[in-house]
Amino acid sequence: MIIIEPRTEYALQLPDVVRNRAAAAGEREVKRQRTTFLPPLASMCCTVSVNESGEQVYNQHPQLTLEGTAAYNKMIALASFYGATGMTLEGLVGLIFAKKAMQEIPTSIEFMNDNADGRGGSLRDLAKKTVREILITPRSGILVARPSTVSGSSNLEVERQNLRPKLMHYRFEDIITWDYGVINNVEKLSFVVLREVVTVRTQFKIESEYQYRVLELIDGIYHQSVLNDSGGEITPATPVQVNGSLVDTIPFFIDDKGIDAKPALNELVDMNFHHYQVSADYNSKNHFSSFVIWYETGAGSSGQNMMMGNGVKWSNEQSEATFGVLQADGNADALRLSLQDDEQRMAALGAEALRPRGSGVESAEAKSLDKVAQNSTTADAAITASELITKALNFASLWMGGTEDAVYELNTDYNPTGMSAQDQLALFTQYQGGGISFQTYYENLQRGEVGNVERDWEEEKALIVNDNTGMES
């Protein structure tokens, strides 16, 4: 048996990833994890007993008591988790995918545009998964995998059996351990263990279990093996042939921010949970302070109980009797202001939809500056995902005997307005004067939402020639 131990970075960063995922999932997932994100009050884990001297003794327990559980259930029901993280995550992803990716897919792997993962998931679906992981976790990756083929199989046989390569996305939680080594004076990934979920069916009962895919360089050659959840060997380490040849590269393309780097939404998540805990205090105080408690002092016990309510007069024979109402101070302004402050901080950290809008007119410069941080974060995620997918596509193309000239670039222009007429004129003047090529000219028109993003520069130039406008060069 082989013991699979997570790498140190994995163990240290896993709690943060769990926290980020719950915040992105929203209130139901956060409340499902109960005390993980909303600690109970000390009184909810306390019991009182009497010792031999007749004194009361307070006993603190690590878990909720029976009475404490009821009180905690009430507190968590009153608490409200504001979906700022999920809203921001979907907003950033939406900005990136508001425009189609610029892509050039080699003919050998054109099928990946509609079926990248072998299960009918498109390249766009894969890109969305990758971007989300980059924004909320410190590590994710894409594996280029292909089922084994019989030596001498024709391309038609390969296609019929769907033995083509596929791009498999792995989340942070599934990248258990990894290592780098120097191969031919180049540092590259030399070892990685990936966790996978497989289903086992016994008649009508279906259960899920883990298996582990081990990718490693043995004597400089890429090998792959599969282990079960107990570390037993399912498939021994076997060299993997790529287009009929052994390779010295593990085709797992990983976005590794390192042990010190942190995902872009970490601060927003932390503020989101602080807001959640303050809301539990605020809503509990409002709830319990809304109930009145009636009291009487100095009254005799012989009188009849009186109905309490409007139009009822209390009376008693004893002159010293008093009646009144006890009511908790309902002033919760400090907590309410704390909630508002948290919402302002979340707005500054990226939850744009939470920020209160002023009545004054905001200048264009102010709007641009307001989006600088957001755009840089979003563009960085888009560029990183584009690089991972491009590398994976090129390796898949090589595996199919094609060329390594794939291009996949996600949108990094988040200006809602297209290119102005003034900018178009300046760009055309540069092109006309020979300062830039037609390819560069047209690519800029595409980014400015003037050129058709589904038509490349060569196709556009052919249309110009056909129209005989005199602009061909």
CB 27 within 8 A of CB 81: yes
> Lowest-pLDDT range, 188-192, 209-213, 340-344, 466-470?
466-470
Give the per-residue pLDDT at 141.
94
User: First vs last Cα of the chain: how many Å apart?
Assistant: 68
Per-residue model confidence as pLDDT tens digits over 163-199: 789 999 999 999 999 998 887 777 889 999 999 888 8
Mean pLDDT of 359-383: 61
Question: For residue 134, what pLDDT band results from cuts at 50, 70 and 90?
Answer: very high
More confident site: 21 or 445: 21
Measure the CA–CA gap between 469 and 454, rounded to whole angstroms: 22
Mean pLDDT of 327-339: 66
Per-residue model confidence as pLDDT tens digits over 47-106: 888 777 878 788 888 888 888 888 889 989 888 898 888 888 888 888 888 888 888 899
Per-residue model confidence as pLDDT tens digits over 234-281: 889 888 888 878 888 899 999 887 777 788 888 889 888 988 888 888
Question: For residue 451, what pLDDT band results from cuts at 50, 70 and 90?
Answer: confident
Give the per-residue pLDDT at 1.
58
Q: Which residues 6+ apart lie within 8 Å of 299 measured at CB?
A: 316, 318, 321, 323
Distance of CA 312 to the CA centre of its chain: 60
The tokens 């060997």 sit on which residue? 233
Q: Label each residue of the chain as H, E or C.
A: CCCCCCCHHHHHHHHHHHHHHHHHHCHHHHHHCHHHCCCCCHHHHEEEEECCCCCEEEEECCCCCHHHHHHHHHHHHHCCCCCHHHHHHHHHHHHHCCCCCEEECCHHHHHHHCCCCCCCCCHHHHHHHHHHHHHHCCEEEEEEECCCCCCCCCHHHHHHCCCCCEEEEECHHHEEEEEEEEECCEEEEEEEEEEEEEEEEECCEEEEEEEEEEEEEECCEEEEEEEECCCCEEEEEEECEECCEECCCCCEEEEECCCCCCCCCHHHHHHHHHHHHHHHHHHHHHHHHCCCEEEEECCCCCCCCCCCCCCCCCCCCCCCCEEEEECCCCCCHHHHHHHHHHHHHHHHCCCHHHCCCCCCCCCHHHHHHHCHHHHHHHHHHHHHHHHHHHHHHHHHHHHCCCCCCCEEECCCCCCCCCCCHHHHHHHHHHHHCCCCCHHHHHHHHHHCCCCCCCCCHHHHHHHHHHHCCCCCC
pLDDT at 331 over 70: no
Mean pLDDT of 424-430: 76
Give the per-residue pLDDT at 63.
87
Give the per-residue pLDDT at 169.
95
Question: For residue 473, what pLDDT band results from cuts at 50, 70 and 90?
Answer: very low
Give the per-residue pLDDT at 46.
87
